[in-house]
Structure formats: structure tokens, C-alpha cells
A and B are shown apart, each in its own frame.
Chain A
Amino acid sequence: MLIAVLADAPPNPWFSWQYVTRNADDIRQALEQHVSLTLEAIAIAFVVALPLGALAHLRPRLAGPFLGTAGVLYTIPSLALFAVLAPYTGIGRTTVLIGLVAYALLVLVRNVLVGLQGVDPAVRDAARGMGYGRARLLFGVELPQAVPTIVAGVRLATVTTVALVTVGVVVGYGGLGQLMFRGFRSDYHAEIMTATVLCLVLALVLDLTIAAIGRGLTPWTRGTRGTRPV
């Protein structure tokens, strides 16, 4: 099927199923690159952010400098970051991955910290009163309570990362961004549009998946809101 928006001859439609079927391998490859980069970056950032956020929570003195540094780093544009990294880490996957992890890390550390600090002081008091030590308080009470905020952070970081991967095109490793850029170069509308739509769909799918996992991790937030289980 061909939904053609005829502008000039030859037709250069924005949506073309023919393009998708003919270039299925290409698209799959770009999509795989995009997905694997996103998931890997989020996984690494998460593993690093959790202890960093917990550390900032346990040592409140560190929270200010941590968040300040994160804010400054966040101001640096992705293109500039890739440009600064590329001469040292080379052209390709490593550079993109480092950049993605850096940005995801900033979002995640902030949310882990906010989540841990947002725990109801009464809950914390109760746990202390029951004889919980600092470590048990953190792992048994504060961390589970912070899960919704942490999940919100992971969702935000994931959606941002999906969009950010496309900038990797400057070092030749941009997943679906490669298709967008190639489509722009060769003035192939369908290629740009297909990559754009796939990007949006990918972001949506990952966002919903993580939201579902978050709901699964916090069964106590479901059901009747007013009456919490005691």
C-alpha cells in the first residue's frame, strides 16, 4: 500500500510501506542498535546511580556538590559532549554509550536522592523505633519507599535516551538517527518519517514497560488509596 503525498514527479511520499518492506533488514539493524544502546546505557547508569544517590542521601554534605555538578554537566549540549569525547574514545559505539550514560546518570542520581529524601519522616521514625540500623533502614524501608520516584526517573531517563541516541549520528553510530540522516542526505522522505515514527513508538513502548515493572514492584500502592495496609 502506498499513501502517496504527491509533490513532484517522481513521487517522494512521507509514508511508504514499500520502503519498509524493501529495507526491512536495514531498519531492523538500526532499530536493534538503537534499542541495545538505550538499554545498555540505562542499565549502566542505573547501576552507578543507585549507590551514588544512596551515598548522597547518607552523607547530606555530598548532596549539594553532587547535584551542582550534575546541573552543570546537564547544561553541556550532547553534540559538544560527543565532540569532546570522540577524539579520545574514538568514532563509534563507546563514545555514544559514554555520552548516553552520562546524561541518564544525572537524571537518575537526582531522582534516587529525591526519592530517598522524600520518605515520610514518621515512617523513618517508626523503623528507628523498632530498632532498625542505618543499613537496614536504607534497604528495608527507604529504598522500597523510594521506588515510585526512582521508576519515574528511569522512565524519564529512558525516553530522553531514546531521543538522544539519534545525535550519535555525528560519530556514525546513531541507531535510527542514521536512517534519518541518510534520508535527509538522499532526500528520501519515507526513510526520515519511518525512523521518526519508530523512535516515538520505541520511547512509548519502553516507557509503558518500565511503568508496568514499577507497578509490579510496588504492589502496596495499588488498590484502595486511602487505607494503606498496616
Chain B
Amino acid sequence: MDVLTEAFRWLNDPLNWQGPDGVIALAIAHVEVSVLAVLLAAAVALPIGLWLGHRGRGGVAGVVVANTTRALPTLALLTLLAASGLFGNTATVLACAVFAVPPLLSGAVVGLGEVDADVRDAARGVGMAGSRVLWSVELPLAVPQLAAGIRTGAVQVLATVPLAALVGGRSLGSIVVEGFGTQRYGQVLAGGLLVAALCLVAEGLLAIVQRVVTPPGLRALGRDGLPRAGRRSPWSRRRHVAAESPADAETVHA
């Protein structure tokens, strides 16, 4: 029997889509947990990031934090939380929030840090106080970077949530884990495709949102908020590829 056919048969079975453990319900649970995790991470990371960026420091600390969380396996954090008595979705939200903090933090710090010093000077020169400089000058200029950070963090959380199925969290990952448990590989494949599709769709949607929230004056800037001019070589113009500092690279969801 062909696994692919089996997967499509699974996906075509309406019974797999309805009910409390159907694809629809699981997808909603998946998105809910992800949104909670991103909100929690944003509540922690954005104020700190904005403050650090406003004061013009914290770049190094951000990289250190990002690298440490990279080495810590999600599975470790999930099992640690689950074993401490936090089962299911609470553990998932907490664990995913931890991994969403670095991109949000570095988005805020880098975004504010890259605001032109002359612009900041001018704002001070026309008599703006520190907090007003932050809210009406630095923050709008940092929107592309902030949005990029939130997008990276959100997609990462969506990709991490499925792992929580291993410790009892409900999400689209449950389909995969259950399939492995019962050795139905058609279901495993179907679940894998659903999870991948969710992440790709979310990535696409958030890219559009990022474009929309960027002030028109800044739209000429690239995805990473860097001006298109002044790059090192002609062919990197198409896409900015700054991977030298680990904090810039996106994360795999381990």
C-alpha cells in the first residue's frame, strides 16, 4: 500500500476533520497556543528590547541569549516543564514563549539601534523629550525590524508547538505523534503536511502583514529593514543575506 495514497485518503475523510480531535479543532488549538505564546513573549521582550534599544545597548546581551536558547532543545524544556507538573498547554505556551523571546528582543534592539543618529539628534533639537523621541520617532522608524522579529518569532512558535504533542499538548502535532504511536504512516504523512502547510501559510500571511504595517516611507527598505543601496555586491541586492552574526539567522525548531 502506498503511503501517499493513504495520506490523501486520511485527509479526504471528513471524520478526521470534525469533532473535538479533528483537524479543524486541533488547528484552532494550535493557533491559540501559538498566539498566547507570542503575546507572552512580546509582553516580556518588547519593553526590555525597546528600553535597551533606546539606551543604545544590549546588542551583545541579545546575541548571548539567542545562542543559549539555540543550544537548549525544545524537547528538554518541554519535558522539564511537564515533569515539574505543568502539563499540556500551559507548559507549551511557556516553553514556546521562551523560544520566541530572542527574535522579538533582537528585532526591537536592532530596530531602534539602526535609527539614524542624525534623525534622533534632530528630534532632540526640536525639543522632544526622551520618551517622545522613542514613541514618535524611533518606534515608527523601527517598525520594519520589529515586524520582522515578530514574524520570525511567530513562525518559530507555530513550528515548535507540534513538538508539545509529545508531552500531551493538543495541536496539529498530535496527529503526527498519534500516527507514529499507532504506526499509521499515512496519518503521519498527512499530519506532517498539515503542520508544514500551516507554517508556510502563516509565514506568507505575516509577510503581507509586515508590508502593510510598514509606514509607506519605509517601504523602499528591504525585508530586514536595510536600505537596498549600499550592499556589498550587486547580486546580493535581491535578498539581504546577513548570516554572519548568529542572532540574524532564523532558528530551526529543535
Residues of A within 8 A of B (CB): 60-61, 63-64, 67-68, 71-72, 74-84, 86-88, 103, 107, 110-111, 113-114, 117-118, 121, 149, 152-153, 155-156, 159-160, 162-167, 169-171, 174, 177, 180-181, 183-184, 187, 189, 192-193, 195-196, 199-200, 203-204, 207
Contact = CB atoms under 8 A, between A and B. Distances in A.
11 contacts: A72-B200, A77-B160, A83-B195, A87-B3, A107-B243, A110-B241, A121-B233, A180-B76, A184-B166, A189-B83, A196-B80
A216 B244 CA distance: 19
B108 to A, nearest CB: 22
B149 interface: no
B185 A87 contact: yes
B75 A180 contact: yes
A69 to B, nearest CB: 12
Contact of A78 (B70, B233, B252): B252
B193 interface: yes
Contact of B155 (A68, A75, A156, A160): A75
Contacts of A74: 250, 252
Contact of B192 (A81, A164, A180): A81
Interface of B: 3, 7, 67, 70-76, 79-80, 82-83, 155, 158-160, 162-163, 165-167, 173, 176-177, 179-180, 185-186, 188-189, 191-193, 195-196, 199-200, 203, 232-236, 238-239, 241-244, 246, 249-254
A103 B252 contact: yes
Given A152-B246, A163-B71, A167-B75, A75 B200 contact: yes
A107 to B, nearest CB: 7
Nearest to B191: A83
Q: Interface of chain A, helix or strand or loop or mixed?
A: helix
